[in-house]
Structure 1
């Protein structure tokens, strides 16, 4: 996703088979897809497991070993792809080492949590499955595009690294000026070579021109420029064109019209480069490019809901960097991040746009199921935060009637917040007596999915958020497993907050659970 990732050393199979592709079952309805998510998919299938990044979470020795492994994987993939498609007389051992190191170092910056080296290898896994489902042989140029598609992520890293700067010194200038909102700018210089002119043409760029580092497509454009500068000595012009088209196609969340426009630009460029059948050449390039694009966002159609939710939790600190600062992040920052993502509209036709009558309805339906579970999961988590904050404010206000404390607890550091949650959890079993505990109806698979993720947790814990939310699971049970009631309570709280008075809101929440929580946070 240019805007999910896995422990590359342990991409394990759940039961020995392959990832199931939704588009092999186009008659499957949304309810059936939810059932598949709950019970592990249709039959035997491989699930890409989301694990802690060894590079970020383990000891220095383990981190170093994992880095060496990923470097060797990158080199092996480069060697394999170039052996199948390139003039390998120029593929010297030292060149392969240098190129693998460029990709690795570019994607191991502190700002990267989702768009890191593991993401690249995960996308390659999704691509392998895309090809298998459609009974196609994996295309080496497409795999090269995947290796390079996020090599630059300047919207996160804020500036080019020295190796990137050296490659792009005649193409890109990092400006010292900024926009009014202090977002840095770059200037794209006139193309120094026909290959760079080709990149500009595919990305529909006029040069010289200035653009913000956060402008849509900037990361992909710069990544394509690096890919061309790196591989132009070993790939032919048509191969470079195909690679660039595939990288452009990974610009996310665009309507089908954007893909149609990319096809037209590809056809024009193919004609300009002397293709005898530019229409066929462009169509082939776009078909390959869409395989890459679908793989980049493949986690949206993953039948394992925890894999999808984990991918979003890796994106949160990239969208909201404050979460990575244990000294500065507060529970209000987490709540704001949840609310922001939860409220974003998402049309699945822009996640998986179709080109040339490609079948994507199954992917779109699976994405619809995943997105709804994600939104409801975030809603319960957000509601739980508001409940605790207002209980704390109530206690503080009771101690000091002159202190209007509503909302004043939002500055609680994340670390202290996690400690508080740990105190609440042991009290929850006392609440779950026979007449209070509710289990979802077997037919309500959506509620089952949501309750499972809340209670069992995601796969990865972060310093800013634990894996499981037992309190959220208890709250969801007490609200009759109703996502609608959760949404109503959030809206009621927002309305009262806007009017600078949250008094009475806690009375709307389940009384017994409130008493248990009050006692635990004293």
Structure 2
């Protein structure tokens, strides 16, 4: 739902039809256009055009149209998209060196080894279908900073945001009392405006879970582009990035994310004399909300297995231990699953998608929300089944010598260019579902058949052990055993967990573990004998 606040139209050769959609309908084809783009134009800047498509050329063109082309590198695609955005905004005072500098900064930031979901492809996925340049630029910069995940700032990032934050011990990041230009010569009113849009006060500690990354990303965006776009265009880019702070509910006064963003943008407009019209303010917020909805579009995918694949990529980002494929411990994986399971159990689908002045329409928000609710329910149960499976291994480990690398009990994960070796999946087969007990068919199918969308380095796509346990226990049995799935596992809960399972289930799992964990074979066989009585 992109747009330009400076609607200066140029003649272009071979204008393309905007198949991505109009102002408030690019993401949602059934939404009808409510405000004309001409409402942005004062009489002095309106120019004759042959057709609206001269402006609305496919910005799913420069970005998304290249999605299927293998002969364009990611870097060149990024350069081309940024150039086309700036040209569309009537900016001509940039060089190839500028484009390269910005593209390299974005590319290197989002190609860090810590990124699995929020990688370079993510910005093209989010911007796909947006037809106007400002939200596209917002999409390109919106995840450039991932402070806690990346372990702080890179040297290039730090240089761009110099004079803005104080980094303190313990990972605390605080906005400076006085915001100055990188050379320290004078106040940086542009960054002050960004802070105003984010409703962040000088000296405030930035919350790593509620705006730190987005605020710093917005600062990078406006500082990179400040010499090439007017103040109010930069403000809209910042607003677009602010809107991507996820999972926010209405405040205590009933104001939505969109309401608060509008109020902040309007106040900033007045304070800094940006001269944005009422239409520009409204459509600016609509564009920002559209970008935020696109950023969370994965939650509404009809493919539940694909949704879970993306969730697994987030596990890699948020859990450092899982990046060490061969040596992470059972307790590390259990804790990662536990945290993600708790997150989904508390996540409300109503907090995901927003609308402003009926853009997108209420029925579209309802459709997205219902689809997201279904994915959240499936993901929550899937994670609980995975949590139980890893907790059973944690219990076996605790009773036979304590925590251990997960590969000791599961075997090696499949690796390219390495010979296959035995794994627990060679011994554990999903149990046929007992039709007399309750199961969620979607959950069972994904556990048995696997997630979709690419391999992860730290886990199999399918989950033989979790599928087996879920098939045996069903919904009620899963809930009963989960009471003892504590992190970290202790001896008392290890016993209680194993005792909550059918005895033959314990022996079925412990027997192959005894074959794989050679140093624990004797004690594991003792457990097998104990539960065979």
TM-score norm. by structure 2 comes to: 0.72
Corresponding residue number in structure 1 for 2:108: 105
d(CA) in 2 for partners of 1:475, 1:508: 12
Corresponding residue number in structure 1 for 2:350: 349
Greater share of residues in helix? 1
Going from structure 1 to structure 2, the CA distance change for 1:458 and 1:241 (only over 3 Å counts) comes to: same
Q: How does 1:13-412 map to 2 (within 5 A)?
A: 69-88=73-92, 90-125=93-128, 128=129, 138-169=131-162, 171-175=163-167, 177-178=168-169, 182-188=170-176, 189-191=178-180, 192-207=187-202, 209-212=203-206, 214=208, 216-256=210-250, 257=255, 258-272=257-271, 274=273, 278-326=277-325, 329-344=328-343, 345-357=346-358, 358=360, 359=362, 360-393=365-398, 396=400, 408=402, 411-412=403-404
Structure 1: unaligned runs, 5 residues or longer: 1-16, 26-65, 132-137, 397-404
Structure 2: unaligned runs, 5 residues or longer: 1-19, 32-69, 181-186, 414-421, 515-533
Shift of 1:511: 4.0
RMSD: 3.2
d(CA) in 1 for partners of 2:312, 2:277: 42
Larger radius of gyration: 2
What SS class does the counterpart of residue 211 from structure 1 fall into?
coil
Corresponding residue number in structure 2 for 1:402: none
Shift of 1:303: 1.0
d(CA) in 1 for partners of 2:275, 2:97: 37
Indicate the structure whose relative CO is greater, using CA pairs within 8 Å and at least 6 residues apart.
1
- Write the deviation string for residues 388-446 of structure 1: whole angstroms up to 9, x where unpaired: 3334555x3xxxxxxxx5xx2xx2213334307954323345x85xxxx22779xx9x8
Corresponding residue number in structure 2 for 1:419: 411
What SS class does the counterpart of residue 311 from structure 2 fall into?
helix
Going from structure 1 to structure 2, the CA distance change for 1:174 and 1:110 (only over 3 Å counts) comes to: farther
Corresponding residue number in structure 1 for 2:450: 457
Going from structure 1 to structure 2, the CA distance change for 1:447 and 1:265 (only over 3 Å counts) comes to: same
Going from structure 1 to structure 2, the CA distance change for 1:21 and 1:278 (only over 3 Å counts) comes to: closer
Shift of 1:356: 2.8
d(CA) in 2 for partners of 1:473, 1:327: 23
d(CA) in 1 for partners of 2:321, 2:353: 31
Going from structure 1 to structure 2, the CA distance change for 1:465 and 1:265 (only over 3 Å counts) comes to: same
Shift of 1:145: 0.2
Q: Contact between 1:458 and 1:467, CA under 8 Å: does it hold in 2?
A: yes
TM-score norm. by structure 1 comes to: 0.74
Shift of 1:486: 0.9
Going from structure 1 to structure 2, the CA distance change for 1:486 and 1:159 (only over 3 Å counts) comes to: same
Shift of 1:496: 13
**More deviation in 259-268 or 182-191?**
182-191
